[in-house]
Chains A and B, each alone.
Chain A
């Protein structure tokens, strides 16, 4: 431990701590902007570029950035001397002198970290004026918009995209005042290796990166009397939506979510969870088929569209490894436009399927050309959790006082196995619950596979299923996925099944979720919320879902039947690596 003094108060800090860490121990607030430390997700942006957290260290000629200056014995730090305050305000004013002043109409209004910082420092006047950056916004991606005029060059997106996700779509380009974050040769983002995971959006302090806004399209759809509107909600949405309305993180708001959607005017409110259970049926059957018939192992989950695009770019030599199952979003869409439409006697052409997702890649996935049914898009429109918040506010709905509603039948019923699709390890856990019973014919008493839970980037377990020891692995975050897949490719590791989620921690940390603003505890609580949802359910194994049983009995036939294959399975394409 190291003893130092901050503002005259003595404090002990570990040797590798920064001044910022030590100050937090003393409850001394030092404003920051570029700094971001998501420790449990192993994401650390310590670029020290913004120069907002400057403090005075006795004996040093210039000020020091608290975020990246290590503590030293006997160090004397001042965090609010007049010199510090002048420099800090000066730096923020410089940032603002090259930042659009269109906060009123900015998608990040009230959520922007620069806006909060300016308010915190009571900046009422910007001393400096002059030339401003003028980049054309990149709207090529179906998932996210890049408006580099709003970039403060914190470099969080670059750290996220390259170091955490290893997608490498973005890099700092040019230098001096022309420096920006961009793609190679400034090509549109849609033409790069970007997988639309949206983690860059999740960490961007301003609106330099934001999601494609589907709110106007949704209102238009809801106003179209010709259309029969069906909405599905992903598991992770219910775990985070409440935060935006001031409810404590970790409270699942499933019932209020249903009520809100009904109030908005959807004709049917269904649950992606239903399709999650369905996914387990198909995926477990595919897995068992590969095990029994000597097929390709390991099997990789395929419900995460960011992950799917990632392996199409980076592991195009392994395209036969992933499960051919469509994601729950699309299993839902396809069943809605076939089975449900027939059941309700509605022309599928007049049906619109809307998804509420924690994810930006789902916006991209909905537009994949092969994901159509009888020439119709399987999913018509995707909105994120954040967009749903704005729609609910837009409609003047008092979310917190809504009664708990119930999902409509038949595509609203689900087991606990579906809830945990929203957390890393959950899909595999759900699949194991079903595979165990199918393979052994015995009842699985202890359904909790704790080794697969939590925020660790790569998790492994060996599970006894009857005679067989099944080796499984889970990765979340694409950098971890890359490591795992490389060990599979080299033959170093042998697994039977692997689950991968693009976002660190799983969908609860999706690119479309309410901003965590660097507070990873929020993510831990969301995880707890979904685990409780699972535990609260009477049925916790996908194959026990009665509505799933009747779907097969009435419509699909066997698991992995020809019709099931036609509707619920898909294929993958090779994409450029760089």
Chain B
């Protein structure tokens, strides 16, 4: 794109680029031309979406449809469970679980013969046999409201022209042309936008703190070090709509007076890095990064810095140390980064999702944004829905929606018809929410009131086969691995918590263990240096609060109700046994006996509880109890 030197030129560019999106905005099924968008997110790319795109290109050519149809990539549609996704415009047909070899049929049947490929349509699990063509008719999308993800699945993230056509950089232009920095801060404050990275601190208030610092060098940092295991919101935004993050950073930098920015991004996100770098180059070429942006006196440029595999670098002060080239060890707050950040200069750190919301607020106004959400938490939140749920994927919902709506309506309920046990939010810093709290309205306040937190948006669903003690241990193991090792409570305390949990899962737990978990957990919350350490005991304390009977079963009855903790299991062959001998043959400890065609028996003394037999049994006659 050529250089854009003013608001007027931006509007001209928007008008010029508008036709790029024409087919996607029409709502007709009889178009002469068609456009195919293929999901190009990491999840779908793992399922060969790049090959799908390539095959589509080839088949379109082969079918002589090059002037009637085109195919390109887009950002994550969110419905990862059913990926890869191919969406056809203007027909508004949504194909799921597409394979590269399906390209020919899509082209020949749908594009050439105008016949929808029915076998690639989504089947409503609640109504077997009912096939759904339109995205908007799917339960997965019905209750979603896409603001941060607005452009994911809508534009090609590798083309700045499409972003500009989709009202991109209009928010920035409005700021530079019509608003003082103070007015921008006020707008964001009034919108009620709060940090989407975890703690939910009001974004406008944060900016104001840096704006209040004496004039001079200030830095704007985007935290793209998404490390919460099982969360991929930020990555999807960076892959699907990188310009919205750049625009958000520009607006923030203008508001508090920064001229230099950094995006701190996980090195493990190669695709996001590639798309973002490309977007930065395009923005620079268009004069949207650099000196005198849109003809104003405002200048800003940014640089990518790689995270190298340290979860703690999601913590603001640790992230800054890492950008400076050091070990990502947090430092005490105060001083807060807004006062003393990078190289001791005032620095604002916002996460990706927060920044992706900013351009829309500046475009549509604070009133529009604050009209969405709950009383205290405004706007939407993106969640990465995963675990034992039917519709794994990325969902964006208004604040105030209930967990039940997310799990059962959007998520389609629990996999394999099992019973929901818990929903974990907030990752290693959060807690497990039990069935009785499913009707809680999701916002920052309500989640903390039940010992969890919003966190960055990981939402892991667990069913009756998950042991909550084991889950708590899993999270502790994560925090232990990721602890920077600087302060005593996190370095030693979390190890001790883990050791106690380990003993409990091995049947060595005592009532004193439970008391120690509780008191040590509180001491760590009270004394650790950074938020990672302080919140590390949350998964333990919250599971102890809502699933105490499960801890009791481990400690008092030496029993794991979910049948996960190996040392507490006894394998048992029921009357269903047909005496086929498969278990006997596969048992590595040779502890199964029995005549052929007779019920077999496990010697519990010799059994090493490996579970191989249960896997080998063709009639599921071997149970754990």
A interface residues, Cβ below 8 angstroms from B: 47-51, 54, 62-63, 65, 68-70, 83, 86-87, 90-91, 94-95, 97-98, 127-128, 130-131, 152-153, 172, 174-179
Partner of B332, one of A48, A86, A131, A152: A48
From known contacts A63-B526, A69-B334, A130-B496, infer whether A176 and B485 are also in contact, taking CB-CB under 8 Å: yes
CA A342 to CA B253, docked complex, whole Å: 80
Contact present for B488 and A51 (CB under 8 Å): yes
Nearest CB in chain A to that of B329: its residue: A172
A241 nearest CB across to chain B (Å): 35
Nearest CB in chain B to that of A154: its residue: B488
Contact present for A47 and B523 (CB under 8 Å): no
From known contacts A49-B529, A62-B527, A65-B332, infer whether A177 and B492 are also in contact, taking CB-CB under 8 Å: yes
CA A50 to CA B480, docked complex, whole Å: 17
B452 within 8 A of A: no
> Main SS of the interface on chain B?
helix
7 residue pairs of the A-B complex, CB under 8 angstroms, read A90-B489, A130-B495, A172-B486, A176-B484, A177-B483, A179-B484, A179-B491
B6 nearest CB across to chain A (Å): 46
**A65 surroundings in chain B (CB, below 8 A):** 332, 529
B587 within 8 A of A: no
Contact present for A87 and B332 (CB under 8 Å): no
B312 nearest CB across to chain A (Å): 8
Contact present for B496 and A179 (CB under 8 Å): no
B570 nearest CB across to chain A (Å): 28
**B529 surroundings in chain A (CB, below 8 A):** 48-49, 51, 65
**B329 surroundings in chain A (CB, below 8 A):** 172
Contact present for A176 and B481 (CB under 8 Å): yes
Contact present for B487 and A48 (CB under 8 Å): yes
Contact present for A90 and B520 (CB under 8 Å): yes
**B488 surroundings in chain A (CB, below 8 A):** 49-51, 91, 94-95, 152-153
B119 within 8 A of A: no
B interface residues, Cβ below 8 angstroms from A: 310, 327, 329, 331-332, 334-335, 480-489, 491-493, 495-496, 499, 516, 519-520, 523, 525-529, 534
Contact present for B486 and A179 (CB under 8 Å): yes
Given contacts A48-B529, A179-B491, 16 further A-B contacts (CB under 8 A): A47-B486, A62-B526, A69-B332, A83-B526, A86-B523, A90-B523, A91-B523, A91-B527, A94-B489, A97-B492, A130-B496, A153-B486, A172-B329, A175-B484, A177-B483, A179-B485
Nearest CB in chain B to that of A92: its residue: B488
CA A50 to CA B516, docked complex, whole Å: 21
**A127 surroundings in chain B (CB, below 8 A):** 516, 520
Contact present for B334 and A49 (CB under 8 Å): no
CA A127 to CA B488, docked complex, whole Å: 15
**B332 surroundings in chain A (CB, below 8 A):** 48, 65, 68-69
Contact present for A95 and B523 (CB under 8 Å): no
CA A82 to CA B254, docked complex, whole Å: 47
A171 nearest CB across to chain B (Å): 8
A318 nearest CB across to chain B (Å): 29
**A54 surroundings in chain B (CB, below 8 A):** 526-527
Contact present for A62 and B525 (CB under 8 Å): yes
From known contacts A65-B332, A128-B520, A130-B499, infer whether A177 and B527 are also in contact, taking CB-CB under 8 Å: no
Partner of B486, one of A49, A83, A95: A49
From known contacts A83-B526, A86-B523, A128-B516, infer whether A94 and B486 are also in contact, taking CB-CB under 8 Å: no
Contact present for B493 and A70 (CB under 8 Å): no
**B484 surroundings in chain A (CB, below 8 A):** 175-176, 179
CA A201 to CA B526, docked complex, whole Å: 32
**A51 surroundings in chain B (CB, below 8 A):** 487-489, 527-529
From known contacts A175-B484, A179-B485, infer whether A98 and B492 are also in contact, taking CB-CB under 8 Å: yes
CA A130 to CA B496, docked complex, whole Å: 7
CA A83 to CA B486, docked complex, whole Å: 23
A88 nearest CB across to chain B (Å): 8
Nearest CB in chain A to that of B523: its residue: A90
Nearest CB in chain A to that of B499: its residue: A130
CA A131 to CA B520, docked complex, whole Å: 16
Contact present for B481 and A87 (CB under 8 Å): no
B333 nearest CB across to chain A (Å): 9
B170 nearest CB across to chain A (Å): 40
Partner of B491, one of A48, A86, A153: A153
Contact present for B492 and A176 (CB under 8 Å): no
Nearest CB in chain A to that of B485: its residue: A179
CA A51 to CA B481, docked complex, whole Å: 20
CA A197 to CA B519, docked complex, whole Å: 43
A338 nearest CB across to chain B (Å): 52
Nearest CB in chain B to that of A171: its residue: B327
**A174 surroundings in chain B (CB, below 8 A):** 485
CA A90 to CA B526, docked complex, whole Å: 11
**B528 surroundings in chain A (CB, below 8 A):** 51, 62
Contact present for A87 and B491 (CB under 8 Å): no
CA A51 to CA B526, docked complex, whole Å: 10
CA A95 to CA B490, docked complex, whole Å: 11
A30 nearest CB across to chain B (Å): 14
**A69 surroundings in chain B (CB, below 8 A):** 332, 334
CA A51 to CA B516, docked complex, whole Å: 19
Find the residue from B331, B484, B493, B525 having the highest chain A CB count within 10 A.
Answer: B493
From known contacts A91-B527, A128-B520, A131-B495, infer whether A177 and B487 are also in contact, taking CB-CB under 8 Å: no
CA A177 to CA B492, docked complex, whole Å: 6
Contact present for A128 and B527 (CB under 8 Å): no
A71 nearest CB across to chain B (Å): 11
The 9 closest A-B pairs by CB, nearest first: A179-B485, A90-B523, A130-B499, A94-B492, A176-B483, A51-B527, A128-B496, A175-B485, A68-B332
**A90 surroundings in chain B (CB, below 8 A):** 489, 493, 519-520, 523, 527
Partner of B496, one of A63, A86, A94: A94
Nearest CB in chain A to that of B479: its residue: A176
Contact present for A178 and B493 (CB under 8 Å): no
A33 nearest CB across to chain B (Å): 9
**B486 surroundings in chain A (CB, below 8 A):** 47, 49, 153, 172, 179
Nearest CB in chain B to that of A65: its residue: B332
A433 nearest CB across to chain B (Å): 45
Nearest CB in chain B to that of A67: its residue: B332
B543 nearest CB across to chain A (Å): 20
**B489 surroundings in chain A (CB, below 8 A):** 51, 90-91, 94
CA A186 to CA B481, docked complex, whole Å: 21
**A68 surroundings in chain B (CB, below 8 A):** 332
A96 nearest CB across to chain B (Å): 10
**A70 surroundings in chain B (CB, below 8 A):** 334-335
CA A131 to CA B500, docked complex, whole Å: 11
From known contacts A69-B332, A97-B496, infer whether A50 and B485 are also in contact, taking CB-CB under 8 Å: no
Nearest CB in chain B to that of A180: its residue: B485
Partner of A177, one of B331, B491, B516, B526: B491
Nearest CB in chain A to that of B312: its residue: A175
A22 nearest CB across to chain B (Å): 15
CA A177 to CA B477, docked complex, whole Å: 11
A192 nearest CB across to chain B (Å): 19
B508 nearest CB across to chain A (Å): 13
Find the residue from B334, B495, B516 having the highest chain A CB count within 10 A.
Answer: B495
Nearest CB in chain B to that of A70: its residue: B334
**A98 surroundings in chain B (CB, below 8 A):** 492
**A94 surroundings in chain B (CB, below 8 A):** 488-489, 492-493, 496
Contact present for B527 and A49 (CB under 8 Å): no
B308 nearest CB across to chain A (Å): 12
B529 nearest CB across to chain A (Å): 6
CA A159 to CA B483, docked complex, whole Å: 21
CA A95 to CA B495, docked complex, whole Å: 12
B37 nearest CB across to chain A (Å): 42
B193 nearest CB across to chain A (Å): 22
From known contacts A128-B516, A153-B486, infer whether A172 and B499 are also in contact, taking CB-CB under 8 Å: no
**A62 surroundings in chain B (CB, below 8 A):** 525-528, 534
**A97 surroundings in chain B (CB, below 8 A):** 492, 496
CA A177 to CA B494, docked complex, whole Å: 9
CA A90 to CA B482, docked complex, whole Å: 22
